[in-house]
Amino acid sequence: MHTHNIPVIAIDGPSASGKGTVAQLVANTLGFHYLDSGALYRLVALKTMQTHTDITDITKLAEIARNLAVVFENNKIFLEDNDATNAIRTEECGILASKLASYPPVREALTARQRAFCQIPGLVADGRDMGSVIFPNAPLKIFLTASAGVRAQRRYKQLNEKGINANIADLLRDIEKRDAQDSNRSVAPLQQGTDARLLDTTTLSITQAKETVLAWYTEICANK
Ligand code: DC
């Protein structure tokens, strides 16, 4: 089966917007596969830190991205057989991921790996460039966001639940820094595409956000 026949719901948006949670819930409801593309960039960052690789050596960084031995299994992420699920969620890892993600060779090295997630019966893909670059033919493209303050609170809660210490003011500063870095880079910048629907979740619950995505998808399928 050609991958262009497989439905993709592309959910892009800024850091800590809740798009990962919403995307996973939508994927579970529809029985679709789920791609957390940010996790791939975070894994490249983790491996870069573990190997003390020079973060200006773009060739080496792209090599890390190309050869990453990753397994996504039952909500866990393994890097070379080691459980990296929590290790990739630190702010340090997120900030480095954002930096490495600005290098085109690193992005190119991850492209085929991301497209390989597109399998029947369908895929929900979350990231920054899912609709614009990785799955440009996706029938439903969403730009999911929330105010920076609400995102900092959500990230705080998420980290707390994982037993990771955090401070709201620091998180807000990191989120604003990362927004600026992800939005201002020259390749695949974070922005709402003209063909993407805006889903502002500042005042929505996770369930309301999920229901909105499902309603949009139902509407698209009905109009096909
Ligand atoms: O979604 P996240 O916070 O886990 O992503 C971590 C970083 O990876 C983010 O700051 C930018 C980068 N990223 C990207 O450039 N493109 C994607 N499709 C996903 C993430």
Which comes out higher in pLDDT, residue 57 or 158? Answer: 57
**Domain assignment present for 174:** yes
Question: Is any atom of ligand 1 closer than 6 Å to the C-beta of 13?
Answer: no
Polymer length in residues for the chain: 224
3 in a domain, yes or no? no
131 lines ligand 1 (CB under 6 A): no
Q: What is the pLDDT of residues 106-128, one digit of tens each?
A: 999 999 999 999 999 999 999 99
Residue 94 belongs to some domain of the structure: yes
Residues above pLDDT 90, as percent of the chain: 77
| DSSP letter for each residue of 174-189 | HHHHHHHHHHH-SSS-
**Residue 189 lies in domain:** 8-219
- Does residue 101 line the site of ligand 1, with CB under 6 A? yes
Q: Given a cut of 70, is residue 3 above it in pLDDT?
A: no
pTM confidence score: 0.91
CATH no. for residue 130? 3.40.50.300
Q: Identify the band that residue 5 occupies on the pLDDT scale cut at 50, 70 and 90.
A: confident
Looking at the structure of the chain, the number of domains it has is: 1
Is 1 part of any domain?
Answer: no
